[in-house]
């Protein structure tokens, strides 16, 4: 899953793709590099990020989705928690809803049920504006995420969303300390007990920077290391800024397994 942030303030590529044509060219470049999915977002969800209005988000993402859909049949994911954006994006050609609130915002469950497209439910403690202010997991981060997913899956089913349309993202970096992020990655197999594909977004995040003492533009090696470990654990979708490099690493891993199976 290639990341396309149509925002001025995302932590790694904020401001680079605000212009529709720039966003389109980057999306096409990610596809050429091997992206299977393009994840388009119009609101930064980095720690302490401020929310944007519905109108601003729609203005940012819908023209990009429409142009990309005319140029390519690639799977498009809309990274939003607003029901109105979900609807407009799917009507414009998006195929997947990627929601950091796991459909907990008013109207989101109903809208997702009406649209009947795949939905990624992400775990987040708090919200972007406060999620990194002393996150705490009384019963352990893995157990609490599993419990959260169990509750959200049930809510989705009660709303009429087919269980087969759900993906799960444990939310690396969303309301979690470094130790929490490392524990959830090391124990990724626990999430597979829920019977759904796992999506993971670890690309260039702050935990990597804190461990390696590197700024965002120097976190590629750390990102690839986590990506490979996650792939070996069975993660089905890796959300990354660095599609070509991640593909290369995964190709080597694939060949190792293929030649020794």
Question: Mind listing the pLDDT tens digit for each residue in 112-169?
Answer: 999 999 999 999 998 988 889 989 999 999 999 999 999 999 999 999 999 999 999 9
pLDDT of residue 95: 98
pLDDT of residue 109: 98
pLDDT of residue 52: 93
Residue with tokens 């469950």: 109
Dump the DSSP string for the chain.
-EEEE-SS--TTTTTTT-SHHHHHHHHHHHHHHT-SEEEEESS--STTPPP--HHHHHHHHHHHHHHHHHH---EEEEE---HHHHHHHHHHT--EEEETTTT-STTHHHHHHHHT--EEEE--SS-TTTTTSS---TT-HHHHHHHHHHHHHHHHHHTT--GGGEEEE--TTSS--HHHHHHHHHTGGGGGGG-S-BEEE-TT-HHHHHHHT--GGG-HHHHHHHHHHHHHHT-SEEEBS-HHHHHHHHHHHHHHHHHT-
pLDDT per position as a tens digit, 33-87: 999 999 999 999 888 888 999 999 999 999 999 999 999 999 999 999 999 999 9
pLDDT of residue 10: 79
pLDDT of residue 111: 98
pLDDT of residue 91: 98
Asked if 99 and 108 touch (Cβ cutoff 8 Å), the reply is yes
Residue with tokens 């997991």: 137
* Residues involved in catalysis: 205, 239
pTM across the whole model = 0.95
Residue 14 has pLDDT above 80, yes or no: no
Structure-model confidence comparison of residues 127 and 95, the more confident one: 95
Asked if 110 and 86 touch (Cβ cutoff 8 Å), the reply is no
Write the CATH number for 87.
Answer: 3.20.20.20
**How many domains are there within the chain?**
1
pLDDT of residue 5: 94
% of the chain with per-residue pLDDT over 70 = 100
Domain encompassing residue 143: 2-259
Residue 11 has pLDDT above 80, yes or no: no
pLDDT per position as a tens digit, 184-227: 999 999 999 999 999 999 999 999 999 999 999 999 999 999 99
pLDDT of residue 122: 98
pLDDT of residue 226: 98
Tokens of 174: 């969303």
């Amino acid at each position: 899953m290639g990341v396309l942030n149509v925002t001025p303030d995302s932590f790694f590529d904020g401001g680079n793709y605000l212009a529709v044509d720039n966003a389109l060219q980057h999306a096409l470049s990610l596809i050429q590099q091997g992206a299977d999915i393009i994840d388009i977002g119009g609101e930064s969800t980095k720690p302490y990020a401020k929310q944007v209005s519905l109108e601003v988000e729609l203005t940012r993402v819908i023209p990009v989705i429409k142009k990309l859909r005319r140029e390519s049949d690639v799977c498009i994911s809309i990274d939003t928690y607003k029901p109105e954006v979900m609807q407009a994006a799917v009507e414009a050609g998006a195929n997947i809803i990627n929601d950091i609130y796991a459909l907990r915002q008013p109207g989101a469950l109903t809208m997702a049920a009406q649209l009947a497209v795949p939905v990624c439910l992400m775990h987040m403690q708090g919200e972007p504006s406060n999620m990194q202010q002393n996150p705490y997991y009384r019963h352990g981060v893995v157990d609490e995420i599993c419990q959260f997913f169990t509750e959200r899956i049930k809510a989705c089913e009660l709303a009429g969303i087919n269980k087969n349309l759900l993906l799960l993202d444990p939310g690396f970096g969303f309301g979690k300390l470094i130790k929490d992020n490392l524990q959830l990655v090391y124990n990724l197999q626990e999430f597979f007990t829920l019977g759904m594909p796992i999506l993971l977004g670890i690309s260039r995040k702050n935990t990597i920077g804190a461990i390696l003492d590197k700024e965002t533009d120097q976190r590629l090696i750390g990102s690839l290391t986590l990506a490979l470990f996650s792939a070996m654990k069975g993660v089905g979708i890796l959300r990354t800024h660095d599609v070509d490099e991640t593909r290369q690493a995964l190709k080597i891993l694939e060949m190792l397994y293929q030649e020794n199976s």
